[in-house]
Amino acid sequence: MNRFVLRHGTQSLFALLCLLVLVFFLARLTGDPTDLYLPMDASLEQRAAFAESHGFNDPLVVQFGRYLAGLARFDFGDSLFQGRPAIDAVLAAFPVTLKLAGITLALALSLAILIGSLAAWRPRSVFDRIASMLTIASASAPDFWVAIVAILVFAVSLGWLPTSGMGTAAHWIMPVGVLMVRPLGLLTQIVRAAMIGALASPYVKTARAKGAGKSRIIFVHGLRNAMLTVVTVAGDQAATLINGAVVVETVFGWPGIGNLMIQAIQQRDFAVLQACILVTALAIFVMNLLIDIAYSRLDPRIRNA
């Protein structure tokens, strides 16, 4: 297990470095922060002083080197806009996103297992057909569109739910609901397919020959095997949710990391942007590790390999 973590760690470290290079240089293509932070009529001297104090005058490579040196001391640089360490801003926003993604995934997974299993028990039944149609639609619905429609219907027309912000439980309903649409559709499809496969497999025949009843066949024999596939896809979805919340967070004014990232880009707040990406990438790495561990727990054939 330790060797496994180590190998994955080294691989991921390299990927992270590539990502850092990419983000660092691409971010600087968005423009010069000086233009944004100083008044239009600022003098050349003022501009020079601003650039000088933030180190924007040095060649990019030097800036990058300074950044890396900072990272080594866990110094992620300061936010230009907020005037505080970038990492503080990110660590304030990240748990909010994590909570949103966690709740969404848990709900989507539970519903997907329920609907997918029922659909798989009698493939091509009326329930299966309706479920398949709806899940295909939801798996392919663009979330920004769903979000806007949801706001129009539930917040503007009906006035049931708040349009944005977070505070009460009611604030959670729409973001979670909208964020859930695609993973729910996808996961239901996956559960259904995996369950159909599992229920048609020879060991289910053996279970029937042992005299096992329907619920035992579905949950003990079918689902336990189907979960092998489902966990892999669910992990993938979790990673997508952690950074895919950008659209939903922006639309609903959710103070999470997605929102922060967009703001950082708009404000040319490079340090915050880099910290956001670093933290997200780290989270995805940890997520993948957890999935791999869960998978090897679930499948004895991998555990011993």
Sign, CA dihedral 105-110-111-113, equals positive
Alpha helices in 252-269 (DSSP H): 257-266
- Residue 202 binds other proteins, judged by CB under 8 A: yes
Distances, alpha carbon 169 to alpha carbons 161, 176, 179, in Å = 10, 11, 16
How far is residue 192's CA from residue 281's CA, in Å, rounded to a whole number?
A: 31
Q: Write out the two tokens for 179.
A: 């964020």
Element (H, E) at 61: helix 60-72
Q: Write out the two tokens for 278.
A: 């670093």
How far is residue 283's CA from residue 240's CA, in Å, rounded to a whole number?
A: 11
How far is residue 148's CA from residue 178's CA, in Å, rounded to a whole number?
A: 10
- Residue 205 binds other proteins, judged by CB under 8 A: yes
- Residue 201 binds other proteins, judged by CB under 8 A: yes
User: In this chain, which of 158, 169, 209, 215 binds other proteins, going by CB under 8 A?
Assistant: 209
Contact 117, 222 (CB under 8 A): yes
- Residue 203 binds other proteins, judged by CB under 8 A: yes
- Residue 229 binds other proteins, judged by CB under 8 A: no
- Residue 210 binds other proteins, judged by CB under 8 A: yes
Q: Shortest gap between Cβ of 212 and other proteins (angstroms)?
A: 5
- Residue 301 binds other proteins, judged by CB under 8 A: yes
Judge residue 133's burial from the number of C-beta atoms within 10 Å of its C-beta, 0-12 exposed, 13-18 middle, 19 or more buried.
exposed
Burial profile 76-93: b = 16 or more Cβ within 10 angstroms, e = fewer = bbbbbbbeebbbebbeeb
Nearest to 133 by CA among 208, 192, 59: 192
- Residue 217 binds other proteins, judged by CB under 8 A: no
Q: Shortest gap between Cβ of 130 and other proteins (angstroms)?
A: 21
Instruction: Single out the segment in contact with other proteins by CB under 8 A; choices: 16-24, 73-81, 155-163, 295-303.
Output: 295-303
Instruction: Single out the segment in contact with other proteins by CB under 8 A; choices: 105-113, 183-191, 217-225, 283-291.
Output: 217-225
How far is residue 190's CA from residue 132's CA, in Å, rounded to a whole number?
A: 11
- Residue 212 binds other proteins, judged by CB under 8 A: yes
- Residue 207 binds other proteins, judged by CB under 8 A: yes
Which residue, 84 or 210, is less far from other proteins as judged by CB?
210
Instruction: Single out the segment in contact with other proteins by CB under 8 A; choices: 40-48, 235-243, 247-255, 293-301.
Output: 293-301
User: In this chain, which of 84, 206, 282, 286 binds other proteins, going by CB under 8 A?
Assistant: 206
Contact 93, 257 (CB under 8 A): yes
Instruction: Single out the segment in contact with other proteins by CB under 8 A; choices: 134-142, 260-268, 281-289, 292-300.
Output: 292-300
Instruction: Single out the segment in contact with other proteins by CB under 8 A; choices: 66-74, 175-183, 218-226, 242-250.
Output: 218-226
User: In this chain, which of 221, 243, 251, 272 binds other proteins, going by CB under 8 A?
Assistant: 221
- Reported residue count of the chain is 305
Q: Shortest gap between Cβ of 122 and other proteins (angstroms)?
A: 10
- Residue 208 binds other proteins, judged by CB under 8 A: yes
- Residue 294 binds other proteins, judged by CB under 8 A: no
Give the distance from CA 78 to its chain's centroid.
Answer: 25
Which residue, 127 or 203, is less far from other proteins as judged by CB?
203
Contacts to other proteins by CB under 8 A: 201-203, 205-213, 216, 221, 224-225, 228, 298-301, 304
